Homo-oligomer: A and B are copies of this chain.
Amino acid sequence: MSDEASFLAGYDPGDYPSIAVTVDVVALTIRDGALCVLLVERGEQPFTGHRALPGGFVREETLDEAALRELAEETDVRLAGDRVHLEQLRTYGNPGRDPRMRVVSVAYLAFAPHLPEATAGSDAARAYWVPVEDAKDLAFDHDQILAEGLERARDKLEYTPLATAFVGTEFTISELRQVYASVWGEELHAGNFHRKVLSVPGFVESTGETASRGGERGGPRAKLYRAGDARLLHPALLRPTREDRVR
């Protein structure tokens, strides 16, 4: 602390507890039609044996890089750097959220298409995908972080092309509809969904190709699409059940 002395003009180190900065990642994917979140098993105190969101200390790197790194350490590096959509969620810094010291955690949301089974990270923490409805009693304030991450994801599905981050580079309208259904937890009218997706400029663009086979239980081969260049959906795809969310 030499240069910063002027910045702190009158700053007494004793007044300000040292603060650790971490990132925590709410990584979401869809497996077998269920929205799942990546959790790690804690081996250390506190919350030993509890599950937690993957995360760790920020090093000499940007916050985004720290989040990607933590994610890569728990899953597959190549995938994490490649196809994952990453965005900041919110920062949690209440005193006492970590019983040992003051920790300010920058939480991230990550969305990925169906990933292979998570592999243990370099430090041998056990990591696995868990359906979000089974992800309870997490360590620290991670229940709250997860809840806010899910809320954000459900909202962003309405007015951004986020759903395309959950499917491969080529997909059918039905696959996209199943993403919405999984994240929102409710079925959508197939005909109307089809009409809306195709009417939003830049949401999807046709590849001209057709799926190699029909649906699992029958039906014609669907046309294939890829993500368009829109960053906002206009008009938005509003979820059917909104009344509860309004007040």
A123 contacts across to B, CB distance below 8 A = 1-2, 6, 9-10
Chain B residues closer than 8 Å to A8, beta-carbon distance: 57, 100
CA distance A22 to B1 in the complex (A): 10
Q: Interface size for chain A: under 10, 10 to 19, 20 to 34, or 35 or more residues?
A: 35 or more
Which residue of B has the minimal Cβ distance to A159? B159
- A3 interface residue per 8 A CB criterion: yes
Q: Which residues of B contact A229 (CB under 8 A)?
A: 247
Chain B residues within 8 Å of A245, by CB: 232
Report chain B residues within 8 Å CB of A94.
62-63
Chain A interface mostly? loop
Partner of A56, one of B2, B60, B88, B105: B2
Contacts of A192 in B (CB 8 A): none
Q: A209 at interface (Cβ–Cβ under 8 A)?
A: no
User: If the complex has contacts A231-B246, A246-B234, are A5 and B59 also in contact, measured as CB distance less than 8 A?
Assistant: no
Q: Verify A6–B91 contact, CB threshold 8 A.
A: no
A100 to B2, CA, bound (A): 9
Chain B positions within 8 Å of A204 at CB level: none
Question: For window 128-151 of chain A, which residues contact chain B by CB distance below 8 Å?
Answer: 139-140
A216 adjacent to chain B (CB < 8 Å)? no
Contact A4–B21 (Cβ < 8 Å)? no
Give which listed residue, B106, B231, B242, contacts A93 with CB less than 8 A. Answer: B106
The CA-CA distance from A73 to B2 in the complex, in Å, is 8
Pick the contact of A70: B2, B52, B100 (CB < 8 A).
B2
Tell me the minimal C-beta distance from A198 to chain B in angstroms: 16
Q: Is A190 interfacial (CB-CB < 8 Å)?
A: no
* Nearest CB in chain B: distance from A111 CB, A: 18
Interface residues of A (CB under 8 A from B): 1-11, 15-22, 40, 42-47, 52, 54-63, 70, 73-74, 88, 90-91, 93-95, 98, 100-106, 121, 123, 125, 139-140, 201-202, 229-234, 242-243, 245-247
Can you give 7 contacting A-B residue pairs, CB < 8 Å? Answer: A4-B22, A4-B100, A4-B140, A6-B44, A15-B59, A62-B94, A104-B106
